[in-house]
């Protein structure tokens, strides 16, 4: 399997973070004061440095060995449960992201053809990228990142004309409970730690610096985004399922109205990169379950599962209640980001001491 630089890897993760962030709901992310969302994200990033410690420890032990292969080496056949857990996590996480995009299409765009066809095309493109390899995804992500940043600058510059300082509310008006709830939401929707556990062996260069710049860059982006939403939309943001979309729809310049098309395009491009990373991570984990290299076509059934999950979740209120619950995702993210790496570290420590596992 090919390798990429730390800049390429964390560039992909930056695109994925933005893709997830623009779909968040203001009420759950910020509570009574939108500006609290900025503090919540900073708190989430501070906690993220601690959560990532077991992954970094595994990386130092075996820099070139994926976590799935390491689990099989330490625990034998039962160790295959670990890569299976990661595969399930990536499939469901990306399925939820696709479901959110389909809900957005149905609520705001209302296309003349079935929305699931758009999901199928997006995942098809992502599967092709995952088939070609990590280098192909990274190069595509670099192009998407440039377009995303240019689109962001355009949108931010135009909507800032509607900024009103009177829309801003005092920080911590609802106490610390909402701050913690927002931090939990951001952490629950952070797949970076799981992707680091699986893909870091294929990354070369200054990885810790890349992680630090990723945390700082995403904090700056999220902070500016929430600040503009608070100043431009105020309490109106709470009435919107997709407040970032509402923000892009308020341009007063006649020639640049309907910036929501830019928003939709950015989201679609980001989804392709995010889904491709998830499918490639599934491919790496699947390689730990078989002898020899795993054939690249395994990304196809993975993509089918993602589309089916996305359509199913978007079509069922019950499934939305289950799969979009912050507490569930906080637990799942904690398991794949912290618990499983800690178990593997403990198992490796016992193995080196001569204990039979």
Q: Going residue by residue through the chain (357 aa), what tens digit of pLDDT does each one get?
A: 678 999 999 999 999 988 888 877 655 555 557 788 889 899 999 999 999 999 999 988 888 888 998 999 889 889 899 999 999 999 999 999 999 899 888 877 776 667 788 899 999 999 999 999 899 999 999 998 888 888 788 778 877 888 888 878 777 776 777 788 888 889 988 889 999 999 999 999 899 999 999 999 999 999 998 888 888 888 777 777 788 877 777 655 444 455 567 777 888 888 999 999 999 999 999 988 887 677 888 899 999 999 999 999 988 889 988 888 888 889 999 999 999 999 999 988 887 776 655
Burial class of residue 132, CB neighbours in 10 A (0-12, 13-18, 19+): middle
Tokens of 69: 């292969």
Distance separating alpha carbons of residues 112 and 174, to the nearest angstrom: 43
Distance separating alpha carbons of residues 69 and 290, to the nearest angstrom: 10
Q: Is position 131 within any domain?
A: yes
Nearest 5°: the CA angle 81, 5, 206 is: 90
Q: Is position 195 within any domain?
A: no
Are 149 and 269 within 8 A, CB to CB?
no
Nearest 5°: the CA angle 156, 144, 338 is: 95
pLDDT given at position 91: 95
Q: Is position 44 within any domain?
A: yes
Tokens of 7: 């800049």
pLDDT given at position 128: 93
Q: Is position 76 within any domain?
A: no
Which residue, 341, 283, 288, is CA-closest to 61? 341
Q: Is position 197 within any domain?
A: no
C-alpha of 15 from chain center: 8
Which residue, 345, 318, 292, is CA-closest to 74? 345
Q: Is position 71 within any domain?
A: no
**Domain span including residue 172:** 4-56+84-184+203-347
pLDDT given at position 27: 55
Distance separating alpha carbons of residues 46 and 356, to the nearest angstrom: 37
Tokens of 321: 């209640």
pLDDT given at position 218: 93
Q: Is position 110 within any domain?
A: yes
Number of structural domains found in the chain: 1
Q: Is position 133 within any domain?
A: yes
């Amino acid at each position: 399997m090919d390798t990429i630089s730390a800049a390429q890897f964390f560039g992909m993760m930056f695109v994925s973070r933005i893709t997830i962030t623009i779909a968040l709901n203001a009420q759950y992310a910020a509570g009574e004061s939108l500006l609290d969302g900025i503090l919540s994200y900073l708190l989430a990033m501070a906690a993220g440095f601690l959560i990532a410690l077991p992954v970094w420890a595994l990386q130092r032990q075996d820099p070139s060995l994926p976590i799935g292969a390491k689990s099989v080496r330490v625990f034998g056949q039962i160790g295959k449960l670990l890569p299976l857990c990661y595969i399930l996590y990536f499939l469901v996480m990306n399925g939820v992201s696709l479901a959110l995009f389909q809900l957005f299409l149905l609520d705001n765009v209302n296309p003349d053809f079935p929305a699931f066809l758009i999901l199928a095309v997006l995942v098809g493109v992502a599967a092709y990228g995952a088939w070609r390899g990590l280098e192909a995804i990274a190069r595509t992500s670099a192009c998407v990142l440039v377009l995303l940043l240019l689109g962001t600058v355009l949108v931010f510059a135009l909507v800032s004309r509607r900024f009103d300082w009177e829309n801003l509310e005092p920080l911590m008006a609802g106490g610390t409970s909402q701050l913690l709830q927002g931090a939990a939401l951001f952490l629950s929707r952070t797949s970076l730690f799981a992707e680091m556990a699986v893909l870091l062996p294929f990354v070369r260069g200054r990885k810790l610096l890349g992680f630090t710049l990723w945390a700082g860059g995403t904090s700056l982006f999220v902070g500016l985004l929430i600040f503009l939403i608070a100043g431009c939309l105020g309490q109106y943001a709470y009435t919107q399922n997709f407040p970032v979309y509402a923000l892009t729809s308020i341009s007063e310049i006649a020639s640049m109205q309907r910036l929501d098309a830019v928003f939709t395009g950015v989201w679609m491009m980001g989804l392709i990169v995010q889904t491709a990373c998830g499918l490639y991570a599934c491919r790496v984990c699947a390689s730990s379950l078989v002898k020899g290299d795993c054939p690249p076509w395994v990304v196809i059934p993975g993509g089918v599962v993602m589309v089916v999950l996305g359509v199913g979740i978007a079509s069922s209120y019950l499934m939305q209640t289950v799969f979009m619950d912050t507490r569930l995702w906080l637990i799942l993210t904690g398991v794949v980001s912290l618990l499983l790496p800690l178990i593997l570290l403990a198992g490796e420590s016992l193995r080196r001491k001569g204990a039979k596992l």
